Structure 1
Amino acid sequence: MALKLACIPAYNEEKTISEIVKKCLNYVDKVLVCDDGSTDNTAKLAKENGAQVISHKKNQGYGAAIASLFESAQNQNADIMVTIDGDGQHDPDQIPVLMDILTQHNVDVVIGSRFLDNQTSTPRYRKHGIKIITSAANYGTNLPVSDAQSGFRAYSKNAIMSIHPTEQGMAVSTEILLKISNKGLSLAEVPITVSYEGNTSKQHPVPHGIAVLVNTLKYISVKHPILFYGFPGIALVIIGSILGYQFLDAYLNRDLVLLGSLMASIVLFLAGTILCMTSVILFTMATLIRERY
């Protein structure tokens, strides 16, 4: 019999965790809750309502909770794993929608998107931020998703066994997309509804969004090192060389010492050389990893 799991990362979610666990149990065989160092009764209430709880002694981050849930699902040899947030944004009654697409269309990963069919009234600032992050993620992964930051996802057995997240923060969503792309896993999206009642976010959206975008760009830069480091490095080397030529021309032909041009030339040339070397090293490493796996 296929084992279906609902996996919930949770940090101080005592107000919502009981209801989410109970609803999830209507559609899966077991609910796993990763209590990420909560200081309230999240773990206690999750257990009381029928969940198996994985506890972190201290708060490590959303990505760390997702990694623990993946590891547990792998150890239990799960056939289907559905990740769903513990703050009440996602509706557990939509779990069958994701699982049906996963099984009926034989895909490896299904993402519940807030932006398909305009079913969700996402706050404007949040919508724009997510779309910027999604655009960056799409470029880096070549996966045309509409909601790269959605935590409501379903994974097949193949995906569960293939994905091993390492990112501790919210950028784990992008990291997983990158690994889906690298592993050649198939992916689909379905529209979902999301509730923003009660201001469920625990972080200020601006620094939080910037942090996620920076980490997203980090993963993309590793996959496309020539574009992110090589081309800018070549540009800096060329500019540095031009400034160096100007210094030599002024010194040899006009007896002028343009110290500003000399210093700028040295700095830009060295910076460009370092970027070019970085791009070559990362490109070589990425190629070796792809050939190995």
Structure 2
Amino acid sequence: MKLVGIPAYNEEKTIGDIVKKSLKHSDRVIVVDDGSTDNTADIAKQSGATVISHKKNQGYGASVITLFDRAREENADILTIIDGDGQHDPEQIPLLVDTLQENNVDVVIGSRFLESNSTTPGYRKRGIKIITSAANFGSDFKVSDAQSGFRSYSKKAISSIHPTETGMSVSTEILLKISNKGLSIAEVPITVSYNGETSSEHPIPHGISVLLNTLKFVSVKHPLPFYGFPGIVLVIVGSVLGYQFLDAYLNKQAIFIGSLMATIVLFLLGAILCVTAVILFSMATLIREKS
């Protein structure tokens, strides 16, 4: 069974057209109405979709979680997730699904950056590139668009991936889980429309939030470079400052309490980071050995 899943929040202007076009390329369309206050749910039903409604707005990631849970319940062979705001073209669903089947990969991502004629606004492109670089650092593969919400998943991927993030950072969380599970991945070029209002969130705080959450996931997978190396540097700097303070004290030279406090803070912070790195590295190793 081929399912198309559409996370939707107040998308009454576009959801009907998206559902109708998606039905041409799937056995069933499931819309997760994430606490909309408009007619999104009713229009989606009238257009032929199965609608799952959240009582209140929980976030894009919560809708993705619901779609994965439903796909497992339906024993779906393929789950394609597409945005409900009109950014993605449902007519390109076969492009992802055919790539998934013909190349026998587990996940296919529709990337807006594989072709040079991308219409993505400059500020958005730069932000996505930064987030993508962070996600690639934590993965065993490289992608060009870590924030794309247009993706197809195989049965194996559906059963293996269990997202937990309720916000927009679910996209990068899924990428890191694909890497952790050893799933295969491919990208295909897609077109994206930025006509009209396609996001209800301000791009700067939204981008910072996604980047911080991405770094959180990456730091857990790679604790040594994220915590260990900075910790060692701080310990060394603190030790050098401590030696200089002690030498000045023993030789009855002028000493500054501020330098002593800086020494203590740097050394303790470095030690905490080093211990954190060791603990996270040990936990990650144990999890990998048991999985």
If the TM-score is normalised by the length of the shorter chain, which range does it land in?
over 0.9
Q: 2:201 aligns with which of 200, 203, 208?
A: 203
Q: 1:167 aligns with which of 158, 165, 168?
A: 165
Q: Secondary structure at the match of 2:138?
A: helix
2: CA distance, partners of 1:25 / 1:204: 32
* Letter in structure 2 aligned against 1:120: S
Deviates more, 1:166-175 or 1:133-142: 133-142
Q: 2:211 aligns with which of 213, 216, 221?
A: 213
Instruction: Give the Å deviation of 1:255.
Output: 4.9
Query: Which residue matches 1:243?
Result: 241
TM-score, normalised with respect to structure 1: 0.97
Is 1:77 the counterpart of 2:75? The answer is yes
1: CA distance, partners of 2:206 / 2:45: 30
2: CA distance, partners of 1:117 / 1:128: 16
Query: Which residue matches 2:14?
Result: 16
* Letter in structure 2 aligned against 1:178: L
* Letter in structure 2 aligned against 1:34: V
Instruction: Give the Å deviation of 1:42.
Output: 0.7
Query: Which residue matches 2:49?
Result: 51
Runs of 4+ residues deviating >3 angstroms: none
* Structure 2, unaligned runs of 5 or more: none
Q: Secondary structure at the match of 1:7?
A: strand
* Letter in structure 2 aligned against 1:64: A
Deviates more, 1:13-22 or 1:243-252: 243-252
Query: Which residue matches 1:288?
Result: 286
Query: Which residue matches 1:90?
Result: 88
TM-score, normalised with respect to structure 2: 0.98
**1:8/1:33 contact within 8 Å kept:** yes
**1:251/1:258 contact within 8 Å kept:** no
Write out per-residue CA displacement over residues 172-212 of structure 1, whole angstroms, 9 at most, x where no aligned residue: 11000001101110100000000000021111111111111
2: CA distance, partners of 1:86 / 1:152: 10
**1:70/1:164 contact within 8 Å kept:** yes
Q: How many residue pairs end up in the alignment?
A: 291
* Letter in structure 2 aligned against 1:96: P
Q: Which aligned pairs between 1:213-292 and structure 2 lie closer than 5 A?
A: 213-292=211-290
Q: Secondary structure at the match of 1:115?
A: coil
Instruction: Give the Å deviation of 1:258.
Output: 2.5
Deviates more, 1:254-263 or 1:178-187: 254-263
Write out per-residue CA displacement over residues 241-293 of structure 1, whole angstroms, 9 at most, x where no aligned residue: 11111111111112544211211111111111111111111111111111111
Deviates more, 1:118-127 or 1:128-137: 118-127
* Letter in structure 1 aligned against 2:177: K
Instruction: Give the Å deviation of 1:136.
Output: 1.1
Query: Which residue matches 1:38?
Result: 36
* Letter in structure 2 aligned against 1:102: L
Q: 2:120 aligns with which of 110, 119, 122?
A: 122
Query: Which residue matches 1:102?
Result: 100
2: CA distance, partners of 1:278 / 1:196: 42
* Letter in structure 1 aligned against 2:105: V
**1:64/1:169 contact within 8 Å kept:** yes
1: CA distance, partners of 2:15 / 2:105: 29
Instruction: Give the Å deviation of 1:119.
Output: 4.4
What is the alpha-carbon root mean square deviation over aligned residues?
0.9
2: CA distance, partners of 1:119 / 1:292: 45
2: CA distance, partners of 1:291 / 1:36: 37
1: CA distance, partners of 2:28 / 2:222: 39
Query: Which residue matches 2:176?
Result: 178
2: CA distance, partners of 1:40 / 1:172: 25
**1:119/1:191 contact within 8 Å kept:** no
**1:232/1:275 contact within 8 Å kept:** yes
1: CA distance, partners of 2:254 / 2:111: 63
Instruction: Give the Å deviation of 1:71.
Output: 0.5
Instruction: Give the Å deviation of 1:156.
Output: 0.4
Q: 1:102 to 1:119 in 2, by over 3 A?
A: farther
1: CA distance, partners of 2:140 / 2:133: 10
